[in-house]
Amino acid sequence: MTTQAKSGKLNVYFLTVTGVMAALACISNLLRIPLGDSKISISNTVCILCGLILGPSSGFLSAGLGNFLYDIFTGYGYESIITFVSKGAIALVVALITGKMRRKDRLEGADYPRLFLASALAALTYVALYMLKTFIFGLTVNGLTLEGTYAKMAAKLPASLINAVFATIVAPLFYLAVKPALRHMDVLKKM
């Protein structure tokens, strides 16, 4: 983060990149494949990238805001705050775990497993939060019995786990592929 951003002054560059990542997080929900009672999408992958590129606070904001807006635009406004927190949590977890490693010019051998582990933990954090939301909504909003709620969770779990595995594999590889270009354009240095 630049001195200007740290001092509290608005940094137009920083806000622009955060906004672009939020837009990507929003649109990433459109690329999906229905699977049973759920869907497979690249949304979690983009949320991990938000955390890796922007760091904890802006990553949380961009991942959460993008998915929040998607919920608003598609008629799920009643879930939008939950989505904001759970999708933002993906970016927050991966950014906190990777910390100083993300800011290095070159990744070292020991950094690669940490990058993939951080992505896996971030993706599994979302799965846990999503299952918790499904449980609570099943009993309250949907008025299901406990057995019905467990059945709904079981129906949603496979797609959630597929999304987690996909995000864990693809996001770090994509980040490693674009990191040199982001460094060359001073995107990461200006963050």
Q: Note the pLDDT tens digit of each residue in 121-178.
A: 999 999 999 999 999 999 999 999 999 999 999 999 999 999 999 999 999 999 999 8
Tokens 């010019």 found at:
105
Distances (CA, A) of 125 to 52, 81, 93, 117: 16, 17, 8, 12
CB of 131 closer than 8 Å to CB of 156: yes
Total-model pTM = 0.88
CB of 80 closer than 8 Å to CB of 71: yes
Helix (H, G, I), strand (E, B) or coil at 108: coil
Residue 147 contacts by C-beta under 8 Å, 6 or more apart in sequence? none
